[in-house]
Each structure stands twice: as structure tokens, then as C-alpha cells.
């Protein structure tokens, strides 16, 4: 950025959607420590107010705006309230994400639709609300939370996969349209599996208890990456070595990477403890505030993480290369 349009060193005006728990909550605290003016959005007003209250002693100004990102009118009002609060918007963190786990045909179509509405349409609503403001300002950073699911399919979470692949396409298209606005940035973040309440809060139609494979990232690590991106924007940022492994495997052999993931999940569901089928927080906010952590990282998982990444990288690359050679 040139000197005229450089973002202020302190007092950034930051909108964060999905700010009531997980990565969004961690990001709110990270920006608060930088003295940011925060506009926090989610459906759970009680949890949002709690997060806003925790931001203020850290050095940030903060307001909570109850928002359903699947409702375009709600998101427009969010942008208007941000302008009323601080007079501009410097950074918009489009962070809402949810999922519905289960075989595609046994998961209610309404659940698939809601995942798309939250994960894809919601981010489109965010961009549609803030980009005209950025263009008037001639600057701004739109940070688009995707996941490693943007690079490879997630069997038993088909709508989640569709939404994340769609987000990647949306962001690439927007960067093309905004090429004549060098100080407006669309930044994608692709974290690996993150230890947040998202898994326990999401819809589960498998009848089995859900977890996530190690290595699991701390949401605060992702939040720190978001703060850095606000200062030094770049189009694509991967967080966690597992993302690079998944991206490589899918590049070398899309069919094999999907097959391996499906086999892994089938094995897991077979061994996992029974659990109630639930729509989770798809259609209404989770009853509990959630917090940042999901409680899935154990000391043993953290110790094994580095080894698993190395072994997984070698195995996946080897299998994918064999598959590519057999096709030839």
C-alpha cells in the first residue's frame, strides 16, 4: 500500500462475523490487543456481548450486532452500524462457518441448504455489503475464512465441501474484478483442522460422536495470522502443515484423495461411540456460548502431530504418484 492509503497502525476498524466463539472470538481478542475498533457479529447476542466485554479491557472498543449472515438485509445493517460506530471499515473478517456431517442422501436437504446459506451465501452477503464501502474509501481488506476443505473434498460433508470450493471460486473472481483497485484486498485463509467448539456445535447425522484428526491447530494461531494479513495482505494463506499435505494429495490425484478420506471416515464412524442425531446450531444459535477451544487437543495429540504430518505427507504423495502413473 502507498502512504496515502496505508491502514492506521492502531485503531483499525474491524468487522468480524462468527465472532461469538472459536476463531472469531480469538480474532476479536487479538485485534483488541492492537487497539482496534471492533464490530462483532453472530446470531447469539448473549455470547457476543460477553466477547465484546472481554475485548474492552484488552484495549479495544467493541460493539455487538446480532446478525444472521444468511440474511442479506441483516448484513447490510451490520455494515451500516459499523460506519455509524467508527466512520469507516478497514477490515472485514468473513468468518462464519458450519457443517452437517452424514451421508449425503440421509442428511436432510434443509440441512444441506443451510450449510450453503451460511458458508457460501453468507460470505457473499458480507462481500456485497462491504465492497461498495471499500471502493468509496479506495482501500480495505476482506479476509475470507475457508479451510483445507477448499482444496479437497470432505466425504460425509458434501454441502460443506460445495461451500468451501465455492468460496475459493468467489474469492478468485472478486480479485479479478478488483484488479484496478490495488489497495482493496481479498485474502483467503486455509487453516487445517482447528480445535474449536464448531465440531460439537455443528449438525451430526451420523449417529456417532464426532472428533477431528490431529494435528489440531489452536484457534489463536489462526487469529494471529488474520491480524498479520490485515497489515500485509496476500491472496492465499495456508495455516498448518496438514493443509499443504491435503492440497498436494488432491493436486496429484483427486480421486485417490477422496477415496482415502472416505475410507478413513468410514473406519472412524465404525469405531466411534454412539451419539444422538442432531441439527446442532444450523437453524438456531448454540445454547452455550462456546468459547475459543473445543477441548479436542490432548498432550498426546500435540506430541504426535509433527510425526503424523511427515508420515502422512510421504504416504499421500507416494500413493498419489502411483495412481497417476497407473492412469498413464
Mean pLDDT (the chain, rounded): 87
Q: In this predicted structure, which of 2-16, 83-97, 164-178, 210-224 has the lowest mean pLDDT? A: 2-16
Residues designated catalytic? 160
Nearest in space to 185 (alpha carbons), one of 6, 3, 4, 31: 6
Contacts of residue 160, Cβ cutoff 8 Å, sequence gap at least 6: 99, 100, 115, 119, 149, 154
pTM of the predicted protein model: 0.87
pLDDT at 323: 54
Mean pLDDT of 217-222: 96
Selected residue with higher pLDDT from 305 and 155: 155
Average pLDDT over residues 111-119: 97
Q: Give the domains, in start order, of the chain with CATH numbers.
A: 10-327 (3.40.50.720)
> For residues 249 and 63, which has the higher predicted lDDT (pLDDT)?
63
* Segment 10-32 mean pLDDT: 96
Provide mean pLDDT across the span 306-325.
49
Helices (H), 139-240: 158-177, 198-201, 219-231
Cα angle value 46/53/127 (rounded, 5°)? 70
Amino acid at each position: 500500500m502507498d502512504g496515502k492509503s496505508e491502514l492506521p497502525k492502531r485503531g483499525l476498524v474491524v468487522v468480524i462475523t462468527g465472532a461469538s466463539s472459536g476463531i472469531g472470538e480469538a480474532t476479536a481478542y487479538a485485534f483488541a490487543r492492537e487497539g482496534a475498533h471492533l464490530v462483532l457479529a453472530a446470531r447469539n447476542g448473549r455470547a457476543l456481548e460477553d466477547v465484546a466485554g472481554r475485548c474492552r479491557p484488552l484495549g479495544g472498543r467493541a460493539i455487538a450486532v446480532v446478525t444472521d449472515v444468511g440474511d442479506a438485509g441483516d448484513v447490510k445493517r451490520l455494515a451500516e452500524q459499523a460506519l455509524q460506530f467508527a466512520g469507516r471499515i478497514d477490515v472485514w473478517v468473513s468468518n462464519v462457518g458450519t457443517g452437517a456431517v452424514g451421508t449425503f442422501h440421509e442428511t436432510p436437504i434443509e440441512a444441506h441448504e443451510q450449510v450453503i446459506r451460511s458458508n457460501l451465501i453468507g460470505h457473499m452477503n458480507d462481500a456485497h455489503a462491504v465492497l461498495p464501502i471499500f471502493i468509496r474509501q479506495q482501500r480495505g481488506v476482506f479476509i475470507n475464512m475457508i479451510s483445507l476443505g477448499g482444496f479437497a473434498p470432505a466425504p460425509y460433508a458434501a454441502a460443506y465441501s460445495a461451500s468451501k470450493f465455492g468460496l475459493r471460486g468467489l474469492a478468485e473472481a472478486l480479485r479479478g474484478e478488483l484488479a484496478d483497485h490495488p489497495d482493496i484486498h481479498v485474502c483467503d485463509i486455509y487453516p487445517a483442522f482447528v480445535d474449536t467448539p464448531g465440531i460439537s456445535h455443528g449438525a451430526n447425522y451420523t449417529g456417532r460422536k464426532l472428533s477431528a484428526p490431529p494435528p489440531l491447530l489452536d484457534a489463536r494461531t489462526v487469529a494471529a495470522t488474520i491480524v498479520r494479513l490485515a497489515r500485509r495482505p496476500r491472496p492465499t494463506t495456508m495455516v498448518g502443515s496438514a493443509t499443504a499435505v491435503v492440497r498436494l494429495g488432491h493436486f496429484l490425484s483427486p480421486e485417490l484423495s477422496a477415496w482415502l478420506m472416505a475410507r478413513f471416515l468410514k473406519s472412524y464412524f465404525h469405531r466411534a461411540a454412539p451419539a444422538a442425531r442432531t441439527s446442532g446450531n444450523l437453524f438456531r444459535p448454540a445454547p452455550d456460548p462456546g468459547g475459543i477451544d473445543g477441548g479436542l487437543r490432548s498432550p498426546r495429540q500435540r506430541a504426535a502431530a509433527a510425526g503424523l504430518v511427515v508420515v502422512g505427507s510421504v504416504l499421500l504423495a507416494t500413493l498419489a504418484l502411483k495412481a497417476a502413473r497407473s492412469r498413464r
